[in-house]
Amino acid sequence: MEFSEFQVPTRVVAGRGLSTSIDIELQREGLTRGLLLTDAGVRPLADRVRRAAGSRVVGVYDAITPNSSVEQVEEAARLARELEADFLLAVGGGSVLDTAKAAALVFTEGGRLLDHQGVNVLARPLLPVAAVPTTAGTGSEVSIYAVVRDENTGTKVSFISEHLAPALAVLDPVLTLGLPPGLTAATGLDALTHALEAFLSVKAGPLSDALALAAARTVLRELPRAVVDGSNLEARWRMLTASCLAGMAFSWAMVGCVHAMAHACGGLREVPHGLANAILLPHGLEYNRPAAGDRFGILGEWMGADPVEAVRSLAERIALPTRLREVGVEEADLAALAELAMLDGSIYANPREATAEEIEAVLRAAL
Amino acid sequence: MPVFATDQDVYATIGALFEWGSQDPELGPKIAASGLTIRFVYHEPESEITVDARAVPPEGRHFTVLCGPAGLTPDVTMEMNADVAHTFWFGHMNLLTALARGQMKAVGPIQSILKLLPAIKPAYKKYPEIARAHGLPGEE
């Protein structure tokens, strides 16, 4: 291990029904004028949180879509500026949370979002974000990344900085109770992918390892329960926790080729991120097996089976698609997807140094 | 004590490496194909080199290397201490680690730089020759 670093800049509060008293947490952070960001699909949940926040929310932007765009980020930042907001309250899944983080960047630094690409570019704290996840998978409520789709190029653009981590994360499993089985399954596999790729990453460290292993074991045990019975609050609670732990782990350990390919699929074909990860995870793991050394064995011990078999078995149990062609990817896309994946920063933390040809072969195996 | 005493030392070594690359039949075309203008800003000593694969290169070269302020708008700017660059070109520094530790700053679409990483591998062999010929300390 050459170097490892770990930090959780986000204050995490968690509890059943906690979002109904979010005003207390906002007050503790000194946040007084917020723009609420959400998407139309979870607007009823967001309205519930808004009521709890009371006069601390002064506006709502609910036009965020899955694989949210640069345009949406800039629109949200513009609205926040108009409202003289002193924080953003993000209520939703990964796209909403990432949009809020990127909008905070534009709000604070000005200019266009794509002007701020790079690493170590952000030198000061951004407009605070309070993140309230309504899915259990993204980990964005604690991560130092924001991923947004550039509609001009059909690619996912990643931003990375500890300043992008939300100031506050509110984990309330009640908000995930209504998540349909398919979304529960796909987002849960996203969390598992974060955990497994963080553990196998060349940037893995002892602290991220502990979080990743705990998250992986929890997802394997609890995700089927949450999918089969969405009203199982205990399973929902444990999944939300696992997602957060995995988010902390991959924030610093990074991810790998599965995410690089999933980002490519999201950029080119708008495949939902969790679904892309779910389909690609067993294939990416198999590809990395020769380079993973004894870490594959450690994963196997924690997961109670060979990692590839454990993931395949889980995906089968929760009835997720297992082929890229089921989610709109075609044979003709594979070369372009491989090329896009090779441009994704995640590929450089992969335990096996990948070539475009190898990645195309992995994608083909998953087709 | 910094590896490089003056900006001219930077140009005579790292600049010379880029000049070599611009004529290398393996590395040169790959950088040229990127079409990027990359500005390298160094500190201690203050210096900068621009690799311009956007403009038509001089005869016999695949891209243009400009030592000193070039006045071009770069696609990507990489900023670091010159000592860090010295270690990097000896092949002893992982780019991701250097970025993670704040030893390098990258402004612009970092993906385009990452894409070039496999292409620049031959330069890791060449740089020690150039550095030693200039009397700079090795990194064994």
Ordered by start, the domain boundaries in chain B are 7-133
Q: Are A132 and A175 in contact (CB under 8 A)?
A: yes
Rounded to the nearest integer, the mean pLDDT of chain B is 92
The pLDDT of residue A3 is above 80: no
Rounded to the nearest integer, the mean pLDDT of chain A is 95
How far apart are the C-alpha atoms of A293 and A74, rounded to whole Å?
44
pLDDT tens profile A133-178: 999 999 999 999 999 999 898 888 889 999 999 999 999 999 999 9
In chain B, the residue whose alpha carbon lies closest to the alpha carbon of A162 is B100
More confident residue, A66 or A290: A290
User: Taking an 8 Å Cβ-Cβ cutoff, which residues of chain B contact chain A?
Assistant: 76, 94-97, 99-102, 104-112, 114-115, 117
Chain center to CA of A160: 13
User: Bridge-partner residues for A87, per DSSP?
Assistant: A34
List, by residue range, all CATH 1.20.1090.10 domains of chain A: 179-366
Chain center to CA of A74: 20
Most trustworthy range by pLDDT among A157-161, A276-280, A347-351, B97-101: A276-280
The pLDDT of residue A358 is above 80: yes
Q: Which of B104, B107, B114 sits opposite A348 (nearest CB)?
A: B114
Token pair, residue A132, equals 């309230």
Fold (CATH) for A11-175:
Rossmann fold (3.40.50)
Q: Is A357 on the interface with B (CB under 8 A)?
A: no
How far apart are the C-alpha atoms of B8 and B1, rounded to whole Å?
17
Task: Identify the CA nearest to B14 among candidates B138, B139, B127, B135.
Answer: B127
- Report the greatest alpha carbon distance in chain B: 40
The pLDDT of residue A326 is above 90: yes
The pLDDT of residue B111 is above 90: no
Give percent of chain A with pLDDT exceeding 70.
Answer: 99
pLDDT at position A1 is 59
Tell me the average pLDDT across A87-99: 97
Q: Which of B101, B105, B110 sits opposite A117 (nearest CB)?
A: B110
Q: Is A356 on the interface with B (CB under 8 A)?
A: no
Token pair, residue A321, equals 């698609």
Q: Are B106 and A118 in contact (CB under 8 A)?
A: yes
Query: Lowest mean pLDDT: which of A290-299, A331-340, B40-49, B129-138?
Result: B129-138
Give percent of chain B with pLDDT exceeding 90.
Answer: 76
Tell me the average pLDDT across B123-127: 94
pLDDT at position A2 is 67
pLDDT tens profile A33-49: 999 999 999 999 999 99
List, by residue range, all CATH 3.40.50.1970 domains of chain A: 11-175
Q: Are A71 and A20 in contact (CB under 8 A)?
A: no
CATH homologous superfamily for the domain A179-366: Dehydroquinate synthase-like - alpha domain (1.20.1090.10)
Token pair, residue B138, equals 């090795």
pLDDT-based confidence at A120, cuts 50/70/90?
A: confident
Q: Strand, helix or coil at A270?
A: coil
| CATH of segment(s) B7-133 | 3.30.1050.10
pLDDT tens profile A289-306: 999 999 999 999 999 999
pLDDT tens profile A70-81: 999 999 999 999
Confidence check on the interface: ipTM exceeds 0.85, yes or no: no
Residue A213 parent element (H or E): helix A206-228
